[in-house]
Amino acid sequence: MRKKEMLAMLLAGGQGSRLGVLTTKNAKPAVTFGGKYKIIDFPMSNCVNSGVDTVGVLTQYQPLSLNQHIGIGIPWDLDRKNGGVTILAPHVKGGEQGDWYSGTANAIYQNIGYIDANDPEYVIILSGDHIYKMDYSKMLDFHKKNKCDVTIAVLEVSLEEASRFGIMNADENDKIYEFEEKPEHPKSNLASMGIYIFTWDELRKALIEDSGVHRDSDFGKHIIPAMLGRGKSLYAYRFKDYWKDVGTIESYWAANMELIKALPEFNLYEDFWKIYTNSEHQPPLYTSADASVIRSLISEGCEIYGTVENSVISTGVVIEEGAVVKGSIIMADCVVKKGAVIDRCIIDEHTIIGENVKMGTGENVPNEAKPKIYNTGITVIGSDSEIPDNVEIGKNCVVFGKSTADMYKNGKLESGQTIDIGGIDI
């Protein structure tokens, strides 16, 4: 079999705990984005658009919905006999017990056999939880031109932000001479995007060597500093387009809201770089004679009888008569009943909002249980939840489960309060 030029390993096992209740049942890469997509659709589509036809998807946390979404890779033309997409979960490799993936590099190390079986010259390591469009073939050309052992995609960020990232210090030719992991006083603003191209022979040796030293082997903490210390050739590949880590409730909400601008910075409608997804066939969108839709993304299969403004609405959502949705994200198969008013909220899939509910009211009080997650005025309702008729819910509230009227003191859930039916620490 002819040697494969490049294989992609897509790390998609992250919990995404800063997204709170949105990742109770899903890994972060399986969270809905832009109405009809999942976050993982973006790196998957980048692969097929870049000519990468062999993709290993490494799953771990809450993998069911992610596995179902990817399937055999049909939407991305990755349903192939040779190559295609393969789900790589932790598994027993000998004896009676297997090991969880304990670090980004450890996850790749545990799948050396899969990579060897495909025999690539180069391996690209990707994260499954970022929103961007990138031609990996151009990065590979850069890697080959500079005879790199490792090429690291970087973004230029402000020096104030730089301490949040792994920072690459490079010379005038972008050859990296120093790597700093989240430095307190950064020397440059070249932030790692967590996208790496390795010459496979070099990476294979580094993974095996580090596995004997660090059980939680990680690219940023261990592999890259070790290769740099051994004098390997590392280069920074500058990426100057749109890239977002939607890792918090606020950043996730804001990135969705950016899509509804007349000229969005991130364009989902480009024919030359399509974003593919596993979308079921839905009936057409229906808007009634009395419906009002203003500057919003409305997906297939929705029925709009009320008002939708500045919002992103996923497939199969019903907005009943007199209901108003403003500045909100409503995920698949939700129902917003008559007279409800939803303002600056995120409502996860299969949720029912009762009649005349008022949501997103009151003062911006951080959530008492999780103030670091819910603190920007956005109220979040978990999947498969129910909100009873005629109640009022404040800002930074969280509800998960089928709540009943007696759970709302005087018909209200004050700002910063939580109702967690499942008791699962949301």
Among 188, 120, 127, CA closest to 157: 188
Give the model confidence (pLDDT) of 218-245 as tens digits: 998 899 999 999 999 999 999 999 999 8
Please give the residue that has the higher pLDDT: either 181 or 384.
384
> Which of 32-41, 179-188, 288-297 is the least confident region?
179-188
pLDDT in tens, 410-425: 999 999 999 998 766 6
Place of tokens 């079986």: 117
Residue 100, pLDDT score = 81
Nearest to 156 by CA among 143, 148, 146, 167: 167
pTM of the model: 0.92
| CA nearest to 44, candidates 72, 65, 67, 70 | 70
Q: Tell me which DSSP letter residue 294 carries.
A: E
- Among 315, 260, 254, residue whose Cα is nearest residue 283: 315
Q: What CA–CA distance (Å, rounded) separates 125 from 160?
A: 27
